[in-house]
Amino acid sequence: MAKPEVTAIIPVYNDQPALEHALPESLKTLAEITENFEIIVAEDGSTDGTAEFVRACELQSDRVKLLHCDTRQGRGKALNRAIRKAQGSIVCYYDVDLATDMQHLPDLIDAIRKGADISTGSRLLPTSDIQRTEGREIASRSYNFLVRHILGSRIFDHQCGFKAFNKEKILPVLPLIRSNHWFWDTELLVRAQRKGYTVIEFPVRWRAGKGTTVRIKDVFEMGSSILRLWWQIHVSKD
């Protein structure tokens, strides 16, 4: 197989049922975009047989690669590790539940081909087509409002799990990121914008995955993470 143009990363933790759908769909969609691609499943200490399932898939397709970790490190660390291992000049990742419609994957990758440093799907633009509970909608809009106004970001939706990068440009940003889990997406976008990177945001069709809820604990963590990053940037000068 030729050197990949595109590396698609799927971060997973105990997600075998979702992965059984996501991997075939990924292989099909990516094959329509480029002849040269690889899929890295960034498996973060799963205990449900996810790693064994991916190993079986590796035997069936040389495009599928397992990046296993014996103990859970956090989604952010798993993504950092996978991006560094990626062979493609364009690296993308998306959530294993395929909440963002895969019809948008060509646009995500084409934005990098056309010169953007980062491209990201958005659930919060006027023409975005989303379905989720009122509680999640309020929490998301409140969170992104705070990120924009406290951290000076120009992005409307920081947490959509559907992003692509110019690998060469994103590698220097990774060592700056302190977050190991969900805040990783926001911190990456904020720090990349501070470096002057070009970020393309576009509307997507998005459907909430099953069993996702917003907890009071999550709301407090959102606020504390925003303030912590503000302190790191403006006081600690990190």
| Mean per-residue pLDDT, 46-67 | 94
Per-residue pLDDT band at 236 (split at 50, 70, 90)? confident
Can you tell me the distance from the alpha carbon of 231 to that of 104, in angstroms, rounded to the nearest whole number?
Answer: 35
Higher-confidence residue of 79 and 180: namely: 79
Is the Cβ–Cβ distance between 212 and 166 less than 8 Å?
no
Active-site residue flag, 185: yes
**Residue 231 maps to a domain:** no
pLDDT in tens, 124-172: 999 999 998 888 888 889 999 999 999 999 999 999 999 999 999 999 9
**Residue 151 maps to a domain:** no
Structural domains in the chain (count): 1
**Residue 97 maps to a domain:** yes
**Residue 220 maps to a domain:** no
Q: How far is CA 133 from CA 18, 91, 147, 217, in A?
A: 21, 31, 21, 18
Domain containing 49 — which CATH number?
Answer: 3.90.550.10
Residue 210's pLDDT is what?
A: 65
**Residue 152 maps to a domain:** no
Q: Which two tokens stand for residue 209?
A: 């995955």
Query: Where does the chain show beta strands of DSSP type E?
Result: 6-12, 37-44, 64-69, 90-94, 118-122, 129-131, 162-166, 199-203, 205-207
**Residue 58 maps to a domain:** yes
Range of the domain at 184: 6-132+157-211
Among residues 14, 12, 17, 13, the alpha carbon closest in space to that of 39 is found at 12
Selecting among 157, 185, 218, 238, the annotated active-site residue is 185
